[in-house]
Structure 1
Amino acid sequence: MTDMPVLRRDADGVRILTVDRPDKLNALDRQTLAALDAAFAAAAEDAAVRAIVLTGSGTKAFVAGADIAEMNALTAIEGREFSLLGQRLMRRIERMPKPVLAMVNGYALGGGLELAMACHLRIAADSARLGQPEVNLGLVPGFGGTQRLLRLAGRAAALELCLLGTPVDATRAQQLGLVNRVVPAADLEAETMKLAAQLAASAPLALRGVLDAVVVGGECGLEEGLQFETAQFALLFASEDMREGTSAFVEKRKPLFRNR
């Protein structure tokens, strides 16, 4: 077992987090879930970080699932705690105040797909395969897979993936709305980092407003969601970045956002 299951690297406002258990196809055990939770908490608090990219080590897997060997030894009570640990991490990622991109470089199965779905954007290599195969282990998804699949892909697709347990290729995943873009495997890192750099150069307060309006507001009814959007819209009129962005547009120059 690696002592550091999550690696960190920074590049021009982008933090790259890599699940680093290649001998286990980056499977999620309790140590790795805790390390990811701490890494995302630190990224949320670091003012120099404007966007986060999450990926897996090696070329075979993003995250191939939860650690089956560890799960095999768990009691029902321990299984519940394992599920809650995973769900807390996914919720943290989903509620991050900065955009999170999943760079899906291979298998994203079970907990791996649940991890990717918690991210705000998903860019997949054309060689990637995604699925919720827990039924083949006598289980159901435990890190939020049933609920996020339902919301991202709809009832029919959620039932198909969870009942059959058969992974789909990246093209089918894009058709279902599970990934935003599919690119050749050789171009995956460059294309993902290009998107991350674009986000890192954008107005951070506006990005946070979009994330809050879509993620938090989207969990409300329509009227409540519209009110939430209006609140986010109005708050940004008090920001220097909004004045800079609108002034730059009028003056036909590139804006310089300062996160204030």
Structure 2
Amino acid sequence: MPLQRVAEVTSARQDRIAVLEISMGTANTLDYLGLCDLRDSLMAQNGSDCDAIIITGSGERSFCMGASASCRDAGSIASFSELHTVAQEITGIMRKHTLPVIALVNGYALDFGFELALSADYIISVSGAKFGIPGIKFGFPPLTDIFTDITLNIPGWVYRESKTGSLIDAPRLNEAGVIGKILPPQGFRRNAIDYLKNLNLDIMKANKSRRKKPPYTVFRNSIFFQLYQPDCTQILGLERFRNTL
């Protein structure tokens, strides 16, 4: 009998909050099937009686460090296109979902992990978390349109610094209004859920419809693939960089 695949994203319920946990090693990187797990877990909450959805990472090292090496087929634009499509679906679902989606960033949020956090309605982070898209330095552009969209909602320096591939500390993003709350690492998830209970989630839900949308939606996918050059990608270099963190 073939072994049953273990889902890379698990779903649970804590009080009246749905908790989606990325669980894939200490880096919490997602391959194509893992991205599908996350997409399907979000869609499963349609019609839920929960008050909010939380996305977080397992362990204390990483929220999500992006896509794993197994899905970074550097020799195939077709394979990368599939990854791009599912990632776009995820961020689209998050932004259009009827429930507030909260990112509980328990460590590194890199590449798609950063895009995932920025797609949430609210970010709660540990003080030592770091954010960025270092994949740019190794030939990998962002997987979604979120970095185009956020220029309307956050300070320009966040966008400019992100494009360099540098990592940004949580306190700086908190000062910029990108992160809503910073909590200590001890008992982070429990304290974050307690904090959410004291927020008016109905107001957060109403604010989703008021979020500014970019005036340009055409040709962005084609721009993505103009930036992505398989011959220039350095997946081993990116993996080595992640291992140093």
Going from structure 1 to structure 2, the CA distance change for 1:52 and 1:194 (only over 3 Å counts) comes to same
The count of corresponding residues between Structure 1 and Structure 2 is 212
Structure with the bigger percentage of helix: 1
- Give the superposition deviation at 1:220: 7.6
Q: Give the alignment partner of residue 36 of structure 1, picking from 38, 52, 55.
A: 38
**Distance in 2 between the 1:37 and 1:84 partners?**
11
| CA positional deviation for 1:187 | 4.5
Post-superposition CA distance 1:140-182 (Å, at most 9, x none): 11223422442343333212211x2011111112123321111
CA distance in 2: counterparts of 1:21 and 1:123, whole angstroms: 21
Q: Distance in 2 between matches of 1:21 and 1:10?
A: 20
User: Cα gap change, 1:203/1:75 in structure 2, threshold over 3 Å: closer, same or farther?
Assistant: closer
Given that residues 63 and 106 in structure 2 are in contact (C-alpha distance below 8 angstroms), is that contact kept between their aligned partners in structure 1? yes
RMSD: 2.2
Mapped partners of 2:93, 2:135: distance in 1:
23
Find the counterpart in structure 1 of residue 206 from structure 2: 209
Judge conservation of contact 2:152–2:214 (CA < 8 Å) in 1: no
1:120 paired to 2:114:
no
Q: Does 2:161 correspond to 1:167?
A: no
Partner SS, residue 53 of structure 2: strand
Equivalent of residue 219 in structure 1, options 213, 223, 237: 213
Larger radius of gyration: 1
Question: Matched residue of 1:22: which SS?
Answer: coil
Q: Which residue of 2 aligns with 1:132?
A: 133
Code of the aligned partner of 1:80: S
| Structure 2 counterpart SS, 1:219 | coil
The question of whether the paired residues in 2 share the 8 Å contact of 1:135 and 1:165 is answered with yes
Task: Supply the distance in 2 between the matched residues of 1:203 and 1:20 (Cα, whole angstroms).
Answer: 26
Give the Cα–Cα distance (whole angstroms) in 2 for the partners of residues 85 and 75 of structure 1.
16
Q: 1:21: which partner in 2?
A: 24
Structure 2 partner of 1:249: none
1:176-187, aligned counterparts within 5 Å?
176-187=176-187
What is the TM-score with the length of structure 1 in the denominator? 0.74
CA pair 177-134 structure 1, distance change in 2 beyond 3 A = farther
Length-normalised TM-score, structure 2:
0.78
Q: Distance in 1 between matches of 2:205 and 2:107?
A: 29
In structure 2, the CA distance between the partners of 1:106 and 1:220, relative to structure 1 (3 Å rule), is closer
In 2, Cα distance between equivalents of 1:132 and 1:6: 22
Contact 1:111/1:141 (CA < 8 Å) preserved in 2? yes
User: Could you tell me how far 1:2 is from its partner in structure 2?
Assistant: 6.1
Conserved? CA contact 1:109–1:131, under 8 Å: yes
Please, which runs of 5 or more residues in structure 1 have no aligned partner?
Answer: 222-260
**What is the match of residue 82 of structure 1?**
83
- Counterpart residue number, 1:9: 12
Aligned equivalent of 1:231: none
Q: Name structure 2 gaps, 5 residues minimum.
A: 216-245
1:98 matched to which residue of 2?
99
